[in-house]
Structure 1
Amino acid sequence: MTAHLPVVRLFRSRGPGSDRVAFIELFFDLVFVFAVTQLAHHLIEHVTLRGAVETLVMLIAVWWVWVYTTWVTNWMNPEKGPVRWMLIALMLVGLVLSTAIPEAFADRGLQFVIAYIVMQVGRTLFVIVSFRRVGDTAGALNLTRIAIWFVYAAPFWVAGAVIGGDAQLALWGAALAIELAAPTVRYWVPGIKAAPIESWAVQGAHIAERAGLFMILALGESIIVTGTLFSRAEITTSSVLALLAAFVGTILFWLLYFSHGAEHGSRFISRAEQTGRIARLTYTYLHMILVGGVVLLAVGDDLVLAHPDDPLDVATQSIIIAAAALYLLGNLLFKRSIGRPWLRSHLLGMAALTVLWLSAPLITGMTPLMLTWIVNGIVALVVVIDEYVWPVDDEDVAQEAADSVEI
């Protein structure tokens, strides 16, 4: 029994303070700041429909690595040596994955895929062994199911990287479809069946805080991209206004998520009985939409700073408006999933953005800079409505049925 004691301590206790985010987890996130920056630059260099789809595929893959690791550090104690070194090893492989992003659909597809598979399968095997060494056969079985799904998707990843071209996009899309479907069917495997929802229990405050910290890092990445470009640009009235517009847009995105979302979400999941169900929907799936909106925000800001007074083209228009629309949609679904009603402010904001997208080409003299300020005005109106016109008592909402999460 004494031989097992060091392994037992690899897992978090369930006592007070055990849900604290460790410094090594924040250190681990630095690799993903770089990855998000790489994704934004990829889309900036490939402002086409195909470039957007490629970026989406890689964004989901990057998010999928991060969120699975977050689930693992929710169960295991990242301040213990073996877990810490596991995270450091993942950081190194994550750096390999991130550096492959610009050429993942060219010469570095195999580098991207090998790094991705090593991270997903390697981390899962580490947890399986840890569960088995403490005699937790149910936990080991759950992670075995997950490993089987990753292994099943792996040939699609590898074949896509080897074949390249249009087939690569299709095969990587198929691989992601397999992996995204896995949690919805509770990792059902023939002969093993599906994982019981009770086995997915998480410490809600930890996973909510991790998601919030990732959102801060993603928004910070938007500021990095904008600041870097401005430092290299000629200082003119338009460039200063573009920088200001980018800064205002980032602040508005922060307010949308953190004013009436992040803290309430933490309380909601902490009070829930089925924390795993909420973590799967709210913090695993829905946050992908939010991160996608932030990446588009960074790309749109870059395009505006580069050409603030040029005639508005379709690609720039679509990215600027889609960033806000996608982010509003993500916030709408996120807040609904944590017990708030369907927010009319967000619905009105998306409707206004749709009208703007249809009418912008008809407005004479419309420029990227003008469009950005109009979009900021719409998002600001949503924030004001949320704050002053239709406020919601978070404490009252948090008392609603926290274990019935339906959108």
Structure 2
Amino acid sequence: MTSPSGRPDVLRRPEDSRVTAIELFFDVVYVLAVTQLTELLLHRLHPAGAAGAAVLLLAVWWAWVDTAWITNWFDPDQPRVRVLLIALMGISLVMSSAVPEAYGDRGLWFAVAYVALAVGRTVFVASALTPRSSLHRNFQRVLVWRTSSAPLWLAGGFASGPLRLGLWVAAVVVDTSAAACDFYVPGWGRSRPTEWVIHGSHLAERARLFVIIALGESILVAGTDFGALRHGWAPLAALVSAFLGSVALWWIYFDRSAEAARSVIVAAEEPGRLGRSAYTYLHIPMVAGIIVTAVGDDLTLHEPTGTADVAVISTVLGGPALFLAGFLLFKRAILGIRSRVLLVAVGVLVALGPLGPLLSPLALSAVATAVVATAVVRSALLAARRTTRDTGTGNETGTGTGRPAP
């Protein structure tokens, strides 16, 4: 392969969009990261704690998704790229292990690991690209942004208490706004998404795998918690509700939309733009929703009876609502579809909040699961009806036409 963008021994071939074994191996570390984030939020169920968990979630997400973009351009089976991924995997392991104590004794560990990931990865990429290529200039801009946030991360690691959180909030704002600002650097201009020629199929598959990681972690946590409890009908019912809730979230994402979205980004004239909006930004609320839901499942399993408190209500209802809201935005961005069914489901979950104190955690969990499951069934029936109608009229059934869906 020859390309003006980089050296032929490290770039993917234009026709190669597969997810490689080393990429799947790399993702193993992020199973731990999601588990640690769930544990952190579980023990910090107050506004400042939730804000702190959100900051770490964004840091973990950028550590993962930036690497997913790198392996979209660079061939993970090439020795140098493989060594890079193994090194990033080891650093990610340190970062993930530090999450539960990131606002305690391990703050500097987390900050150093994150900065090493962000800066080291970008330096490698910039050095592997030919200086005259647009992609090389793109990663020079990325490096400026990542090194700009690095002092804030490191200063936060040395600080403590509210100061650490404040510095890390500022750092994650820089990192999160970078792509939205097209990595603008005075004198160097912007990196246009039209220049980001990506393998849309690869990026879509990588995002789908991360959703599987998050859902799998939530099931793992629920099963582990149930195994440690004294068995009874209430914990068993809570486990069933948690499991069915995870299945419902999986169904919403994977039944039709995930594959339809992959087809759209593959055929898109500007896949880089869709990759930035739909897969880089709009997956964040979905992953956050899964983590919050897992926390709600944990609380329900340990105290299924009694009265639901604010923490239970916020997580049991807020987690699925956050996931559905993120999925609605994702579906709108890439498929041009507005789902009234899912929008109603979000509204119902929010409306149930004031009624939460009247229910037990188990009852509230069952109601939340029923709302999401009803949305799944209703959406499937409407999709089947549309398919039958389109087939009967001789039209090909397609997704991403921009036609509003019920």
Does TM, normalized by the shorter one, top 0.5? Answer: yes
- Look up the match of 2:374: 381
Deviation at 1:400, TM superposition (A): 5.5
- Give 2:128's aligned residue: 130
In 2, the alpha carbon distance for the partners of 1:207 and 1:44 equals 31
Q: 1:86 aligns with which of 84, 87, 96?
A: 84
Q: CA RMSD in A?
A: 1.8
Tell whether 2:105 aligns with 1:103: no
Question: Are 2:144 and 1:151 aligned?
Answer: no
Q: Which letter maps to 1:398?
A: G
Q: Distance in 2 between matches of 1:96 and 1:28?
A: 13
The answer to whether the aligner puts 1:252 opposite 2:248 as a matched pair is yes
1:159 shift after superposition: 1.5
Paired residue type of 2:39:
H
The 8 Å contact of residues 113 and 158 in structure 1, kept in 2 or not, is answered as: yes
Alignment of 1:20-31 (within 5 A): 20-31=18-29
Q: Which residue of 1 aligns with 2:263?
A: 267
Deviation at 1:9, TM superposition (A): 2.3
Residue segments in structure 1 that go unaligned for 5+ positions in a row:
402-407
The corresponding residue for 1:398 is: 400
**Deviation at 1:360?**
2.1
Q: Which residue of 1 aligns with 2:391?
A: none
Residue 98 of structure 2 contacts residue 106 of structure 2 at CA under 8 Å; is this kept in 1? yes
What is the distance in 1 between the residues matched to 2:211 and 2:170?
27
1:38 pairs, out of 33, 36, 39, with 36
Task: Determine the C-alpha separation between the residues in 2 that align with 1:70 and 1:104.
Answer: 24
Offset of residue 169 of structure 1: 1.1
Instruction: Give the structure 2 partner of residue 11 of structure 1.
Output: 11
2 CA distance for matches of 1:227 and 1:287? 25
Q: Following the alignment from structure 1 to structure 2, what is the Cα–Cα distance between the partners of residues 26 and 147?
A: 26
1:143 is matched by which residue type in structure 2?
A: F
Taking the aligned partners of 1:176 and 1:307, their CA distance within structure 2 comes to 35
In the alignment, the residues of structure 2 paired with residue 11 and residue 390 of structure 1 have an alpha-carbon distance, to the nearest angstrom, of: 40
Q: CA deviation at 1:200?
A: 1.2
Secondary structure, in 3 states, of the residue corresponding to 2:104? coil
Q: Aligned equivalents of 1:65 and 1:370: distance in 2?
A: 37
- Find runs of 4+ consecutive structure 1 residues off by over 3 angstroms: 390-395, 398-401
Amino acid corresponding to residue 14 of structure 1 in structure 2? P
TM-score normalised to the size of structure 1?
0.93
State the TM-score, normalizing by the size of structure 2: 0.93
Are 2:348 and 1:352 aligned? Answer: yes
Structure 1 residue 288 corresponds to structure 2 residue 281 = no
Deviation at 1:341, TM superposition (A): 2.0
Tell me which of 291, 302, 310 is aligned to 2:306.
310
Please give the alpha-carbon distance, in whole angstroms, between the structure 1 residues aligned to 2:266 and 2:170. 35
**Equivalent in the alignment of 1:405:** none
SS of residue in 2 equivalent to 1:8: coil
Q: Is the 8 A contact 2:72 2:203 kept in 1?
A: yes
Report how many residues are paired.
391
**Aligned pairs (5 A) from 1:133-282:** 136-282=132-278
For residues 65 and 368 of structure 2, what CA distance do their matches in structure 1 show? Answer: 30
Partner of 1:397, secondary structure, is coil
